Amino acid sequence: MKLKITNTKTNKVWIEENRNHNWQDFALDLIKEHKKEGHTCNLIYCDIEGIVCLNDIWYILDECGNWEYILSTYKVEKGD
Question: What are 5-51's pLDDT values in tens digits?
Answer: 999 999 999 887 655 566 788 888 988 888 888 888 888 767 788 88
pLDDT at 66 over 80: yes
pLDDT at 51: 87
CA distance linking residue 75 with residue 52, whole number of Å: 14
**Is there a contact between 12 and 21 (Cβ–Cβ < 8 Å)?**
no
pLDDT at 19: 52
CA distance linking residue 19 with residue 52, whole number of Å: 12
Q: Is residue 45 classed as helix, strand or coil in its secondary structure?
A: helix
Average pLDDT of the residues in 52-71: 90
pLDDT at 77: 92
pLDDT at 37: 86
- The Cβ of residue 42 has, within 10 Å, a number of other Cβ atoms equal to 12
